[in-house]
Amino acid sequence: MAAYAGIIFDLDGVICSTDQYHYLAWKALADRLGIPFDRERNNLLRGVSRMDSLNIILEKSDQTYTDAEKAAFAAEKNDLYRESLKQMSPADLSPSVLNTLNAFRAMGLRLAIGSSSKNTPFILERIGLGDFFDAVADGNCITHSKPHPEVFLKAADMLGLSPDQCCVVEDAHAGVEAAVAGGFACAAMGDARDDERATYHLNQFSDLQQYIQA
């Protein structure tokens, strides 16, 4: 018997990885504006909304910008990012992730995505999971990004489940914080694997199965 009725997955870094595309798009914008930006700085943007990410980048600028200018910068970055995402295909979905997802589906679990990204539907379509999940809560339907728990609470609500019936899978510390704040169990992997707030610590995505079947 499964330990949970539903699983809510972050998208980027959990189901697939678009980190490189994000970094290159932000880097191109920062370079154009003459703002220092590197991979270390990029790590501060993990699990953070587009506008919050932009504000983190602009902290290193000696100029101030209007809201209209910031909106234009965010749109510019997203155009660069979406153009690069066209390179994605089902080959970007690892067999291990797909097999594990199919195993959970066979167990009768309800599966959802909980991502701050507004590009979530496009990415899911590109990797062949456009219609796979029972619910998708993303940046298009929330007003607060992680570490606020809104996206996970909305995903659980869309599944018809309470937080204590779900496990969230995250790779960012902001996501772990959001899950815990929402009252969810959390399985952490990647950069957040050793986060002490997480319920489970995964070396790889497929490790999740042993905890869900517990």
Q: Is the dihedral of CA 90, 19, 201, 118 positive or negative?
A: negative
Average pLDDT over residues 11-19: 92
Q: What is the reported pTM?
A: 0.84
pLDDT at 214: 63
Phi then psi for 97, rounded to 5 degrees? -65, -45
194 a catalytic residue: no
101 and 194 together in one domain: yes
136 forms beta bridges with 113
Enter the tokens of residue 50: 């587009």
Q: Is the pLDDT of residue 1 over 80?
A: no
Enter the tokens of residue 93: 């979905």
10 a catalytic residue: yes
> Using one digit for the tens of pLDDT, what is the confidence trace for 43-82?
888 777 889 999 999 999 999 999 999 999 999 999 999 9
Residue 176: which domain range?
6-16+89-212
Number of structural domains in the chain: 2
138 and 181 together in one domain: yes
Give the active site residue among 10, 19, 171, 191.
Answer: 10
